[in-house]
A and B are shown apart, each in its own frame.
Chain A
Amino acid sequence: MQAPFELVAANPIVAAICAMVGLALLFGALLGFAAERFRVQGDPIVEQIDALLPQTQCGQCGHPGCRPYAESIAAGEAINKCPPGGQATINALAALLDVPAPELDDEHGEESEVKKVAFIREAECIGCTKCIQACPVDAILGSAKLMHTVIAAECTGCDLCVEPCPVDCIDMIPVEGDLKSWHWQLPQRPGLIASDRQPHSGEAA
């Protein structure tokens, strides 16, 4: 019986083939095991897109909620159909999907300057429950023939309750900032270098 080293030295090609085959089998088994063991359930990109969408569930993109839109973005739909998210959301989506960020598509609405919440003028509410059925996040409280009210903290400002109201008693009112939500703003950037002369009127700045 030859020592293993001598056996290898005597048959270098066979030894190399054996080594390669052995490695191939080993890594194949390892990959197969990993594929089974660390299998990803569902489509992770949909989750990531959904996490970036503003979750107003307003349907302005033409889908019944943010998740369906996330699914169709994953399937190749345009990323500029979300007015509540605005340009910030488009930029975030573009960064995630590594595509150029387009402008917001005007067809689906305009980005609102201020956040809004629905407010029911309770004296005028007839208790028809139509807005309750329309609310995608169950933020309206009330029951048939009893006054309804909006839970402001849970309202996403999606607007969907305004249209079904038969007596038009729902207003979208802007959310007023308070001490808690206030934060410092970025300083105004000077328009020109301080040492520069002020441009004369008519001259190009």
Chain B
Amino acid sequence: MRKVWETPGGIHPAENKAQSVTRPIGYLPLPERLWVALNQHAGPAAKPLVAVGDDVLKGQIIARSEGDRGTALHAPSSGRVVAIAPRAIAHPSGLPAECIEILCDGRDQWIDLYPIENYRNTEPSALLDLLAERGVAGLGGAGFPTAIKLATDRPTELLLVNATECEPYITADDSLLRERADQLLQGIDIASYLLGDPAERIIGIEDNKPEAIAALRAALAARSDQLPAVELAIFPTKYPSGGEKQLIQIVTGQELPSGALPAQLGIVCQNVGTLYALKRAVVDGEPLISRITTVTGKACTINGNYETLIGTPLTDLLTHSQLDPNRLERLIMGGPMMGIALPDSDLPIVKTSNCFIAADNTEVAPEQPAQPCIRCGLCAEACPATLLPQQLFWHAQSQQHDKLEAHNLFDCIECGACSYVCPSNIPLVQYFRAGKGEIRQQRAEKAKSDFARERFEFRQQRLEQQERDKQAKREARKLAAQQAKEAQSEASAPADSAAALIAAAQVRAAARTASPEQQREKLTRAIASSEARLQRANEKVTEAQQSGCDDATLQPLLAAQASAQQKLTQAEAKLAELSADPGKGPSPAPTQADSQSPEIDAASRAIAKARATAAAREALSPVEKIAADLAALNKRVEKLRDKLAACEEAEQRELLASSLAKLEAKQASLQEQQRALNNGI
């Protein structure tokens, strides 16, 4: 006998298991219709692979969950798909979910099955794919895909088989063990192979199932010695020993840390029903289309276990169990501790439907109104997770979510032990479920709002970038326009103003003093061309003299010769100067200076004059200013009058007349101002 440990807390509710194990596992007559819910577990719903009107065979794949090794759903019997529509399923929300409705043809005709007798010749990864393809999921509780659970990347030390079935009333696993223990062992062997043959395989079972233990012992005794050893761990009955964390603690003595998975301790936990389904999927090639379901409760005349097709209407199951509707007080799916109350029986069986209790009024007490918490602490004693339910209740009531999390609400396994012992009848678990739900919802909303923020910020950034790009383009255009304008104005009016003149002169001067190398080159070119010209002139002169021309023709030639000679001499002199003092550059040639200076001089003279006038004006008093202006204006008026008198053309006369009128008006206003000033003084 293996040593076992004790877990904290726990309760001992009435078991009520005996009534449903009096007969062997039964079979229902084939239902007329089957509804396969696409949502078999908490994950996303599976996607249908068949359409309305398709004929399907028993075991044919009809839907598959998305993702790597998403579990598949199969037609539980042969027939025709008549609808894919939402309908009520066994869910506490009572919300409808998509179901595939199959109208059975009664032939119950299988697809071709491909059993794998010697699975050890198949790669584990291929077997895991096969499990997903054959829809094997956890039948103990949440319906988690088995292929994903077994595909652990950590080395596994222990395969723990959960045969505890600690909740009252439920005997599905018990009856399975009594009748099919040998097949369960085969399932254990396959799981062990998939996990890389861990060091230990242990079946954990409560001591309230002596027949199941005996059957297991017999199966183990008949087992070949070459197969890996499987141990039995039998422990005293206590609710909730069947929780994964609790079972691990009972069998290994190790407490699973908060938030940790068993895989972190090198343990993989599997329910017996799941392992049996695993064996059926691999060795028999049958996909998971049925499970063992307990139907019990005093409202049913026949209590027992049935091999039920997934999708069977619950009504069929209850009718077969001879339900007395008048006695039915409450219909529960699951156990009395953790199960959910169902509004009616018009629901299909899903993969996780382990038990239905049709309870009469002697079994379920009418709900007592909750009274205030008296802080008795019984709940804390009963809690298998060593939480403080009364404290959690307080915070859940006031919706203080951060406090709930600080008190490890998420370690609550919702076993209901606290509600069971509460003398004030407080539905504690319901508070905890609500608290968990609210926290999860807030997390989801937070994730959504973070995503919205990200998108908003990205959009802002994009808009700013667009605006910057536009601005840059606008500026580039503006700059280009300005440059074009400048270029135009330079071309059209080069000597418009004194400043432009000066600038142009400076540019030219700069060009002249560019660089000694350039100048030297220029001069060398000038010398070469002058020499050439001189030579030509010489030739011409000689030719003319030889041909005996008159002086009139000879004279220009001689002049040209002289000028060429002069230019050559000049250029040579400059070059000599440049070579002598390359840094300084040549002083501007006198001839060029002569040609340039008048322009500059005129401009600077004009500027100087304008400055002087302005300065003089500044110095004047207002009266004097007006007097001066008036004098100047008088002069202009006189001039204009003379011009007008001299002018002949009509158009020009008109123009002149109008400007004269303007000037005269200005004159009048100035005179007025002058008078006013004089009066003021």
Interfacial residues, chain A to chain B (CB-CB below 8 A): 50, 53-57, 65-67, 136-139, 154, 156, 177-187, 189-190, 193-195
Chain A residues positioned under 8 Å from B453 (CB to CB): 50, 55, 66-67
Residues of B within 8 A of A189 (CB): 370, 397
B95→A138 contact, CB < 8 A:
no
Nearest B residue to A182, CB-CB: B93
| Contact indicator per residue, chain B 444-469, by CB within 8 Å of chain A (1) or not (0) | 11000111110111111000000000
B24 at the interface (CB under 8 A from A): no
Per the bound structure, the CA–CA distance linking A195 and B440 in Å amounts to 36
The reply to whether B92 and A137 contact each other, CB–CB distance below 8 Å, is no
**B441 CB-CB contact with A under 8 Å:** yes
Q: Kindly state the separation between the CA atoms of A23 and B93 in the bound complex, as whole angstroms.
A: 67
Q: CB within 8 A of B456: which of A57, A190, A195? A: A57
> Is A154's CB under 8 angstroms from B430's CB?
no
* Closest chain A residue to B44, Cβ basis: A180
In the bound complex, residues from chain B placing their C-beta under 8 Å from that of A194 are 368-371
Q: A55-B449, A136-B456, A184-B436 known; 4 other A-B pairs, CB under 8 Å?
A: A57-B456, A137-B459, A179-B95, A185-B434
> 25 A-B Cβ contacts within 8 A?
A55-B453, A56-B449, A56-B452, A136-B459, A138-B458, A177-B95, A179-B39, A179-B91, A182-B93, A182-B95, A183-B438, A184-B92, A184-B433, A184-B437, A185-B437, A186-B430, A186-B431, A187-B370, A187-B430, A187-B431, A189-B370, A190-B370, A194-B370, A194-B371, A195-B371
**Which of A57, A177, A183 makes the CB contact (< 8 A) with B436?**
A183
B372 at the A interface (CB under 8 A): yes
Compute how far the CA of A194 lies from the CA of B372 in the bound complex, rounded to whole angstroms: 9
Q: Is the CB of B455 within 8 A of A154?
A: yes
- Expressed in whole angstroms, the minimum distance between the Cβ of A190 and any Cβ of chain B is 5
CB proximity of A197 to chain B, nearest CB, Å: 13
**Measured between C-beta atoms, what is the minimum distance from B598 to chain A in Å?**
66
Given contacts A154-B451, A190-B369, contact A183 B440 (CB under 8 A): yes
Contact in complex: A193, B396 (CB < 8 Å):
no
B contact patch SS: helix
Tell me, yes or no, whether B505 is within 8 Å of chain A by CB: no
Contacts of A139 in B (CB 8 A): 455
Query: Roughly how many angstroms separate A191 CA and B369 CA in the complex, as a whole number?
Result: 10
Q: Which residue of A lies closest to B372 (CB)?
A: A193
**B75: min CB distance to chain A, Å:** 23
Considering only CB atoms, which chain A residue lies closest to B458 in the complex?
A: A138
Q: Determine which of A57, A67, A136, A183 lies in contact with B433 in the assembled complex, contact meaning CB atoms within 8 Å.
A: A183
Please, how many angstroms separate the alpha-carbon atoms of A183 and B92 in the complex? 9
A136 to B456, CA, bound (A): 6
3 A-B pairs with the lowest CB-CB distances in the bound complex, closest first:
A183-B437, A55-B449, A184-B433
User: Does B603 have its Cβ within 8 Å of any Cβ on chain A?
Assistant: no
B519 → A minimal CB distance (Å): 60
Q: Tell me which residues across on chain A come within 8 A of B430, comparing CB atoms.
A: 184, 186-187
A178 adjacent to B456 (CB under 8 Å):
no
Q: Which residues of B contact A195 (CB under 8 A)?
A: 371
Q: Which residue numbers of B lie inside 8 Å of A, CB to CB?
A: 39, 44-45, 91-93, 95, 97, 368-372, 396-397, 399, 427, 430-431, 433-438, 440-441, 444-445, 449-453, 455-460
Whether the pair A178, B452 counts as a contact (CB closer than 8 A) is no
For the complex, what is the distance from the CA of A45 to the CA of B542, rounded to whole Å?
A: 102
Q: Are A183 and B441 in contact (CB under 8 A)?
A: yes
When C-beta atoms are compared, the residue in chain A nearest to B429 turns out to be A184
Minimal beta-carbon separation of B266 from chain A (angstroms) = 32
Let me know if A181 and B368 touch, CB within 8 A. Answer: no
Q: From B371, which residue of chain A is reached at the shortest CB distance?
A: A194
Residue of B nearest to A190 (CB): B369
Name B455's closest neighbour in chain A (CB-CB): A137
Q: How far is the CA of A104 from the CA of B636 in the complex (A)?
A: 79
Closest residue on chain B to residue A95 by CB atoms: B402
Question: Is A154 a contact partner of B44 (Cβ separation < 8 A)?
Answer: no
Q: Which residues of A contact B457 (CB under 8 A)?
A: 67
Quick one: given A186-B396, A194-B369, are A57 and B452 in contact (CB under 8 Å)? Answer: yes
Q: Is the CB of A138 within 8 A of B455?
A: yes
From known contacts A137-B456, A183-B436, A186-B430, infer whether A54 and B449 are also in contact, taking CB-CB under 8 Å. Answer: yes
Q: Which residues of B sit under 8 angstroms from A184, Cβ to Cβ? A: 92, 430, 433-434, 436-437
Q: How far is the CB of A195 from chain B (nearest CB, A)?
A: 7
Alpha-carbon distance A182/B92, docked complex (angstroms): 9
Asked whether B456 lies within 8 Å of A66 as measured between CB atoms, the reply is: yes
Given contacts A138-B459, A183-B440, contact A193 B371 (CB under 8 A): yes
| Chain A contacts for B437, CB-based, 8 A | 182-185
Q: What is the CA–CA distance of A138 and B453 in the complex, to the nearest angstrom?
A: 11
Contact assessment for A55 and B434 in the assembled complex, using a CB-CB cutoff below 8 Å = no
Give the contacting residue for A187; candidates B44, B427, B456; CB below 8 A: B427
A57 to B463, CA, bound (A): 15
Q: Give A117 to B534 CA distance when docked, in angstroms.
A: 96
The answer on a CB contact under 8 Å between B456 and A55 is yes
- A158 to chain B: closest residue by CB: B452
What's the nearest-Cβ distance from chain B to residue A5, in Å? 52
Give Cα A156 to B435, complex, Å.
Answer: 25
The minimal Cβ–Cβ distance linking A127 to chain B, given in whole angstroms, is 21
CA distance A185 to B94 in the complex (A): 13
CB of B456 within 8 A of CB of A179, answer no
Bound-state CA distance A156–B355 (Å) is 42
Q: Given the complex, which residues of A lie within 8 Å of B95, measured CB to CB?
A: 177-179, 182
Smallest CB gap from B442: residue in A: A88
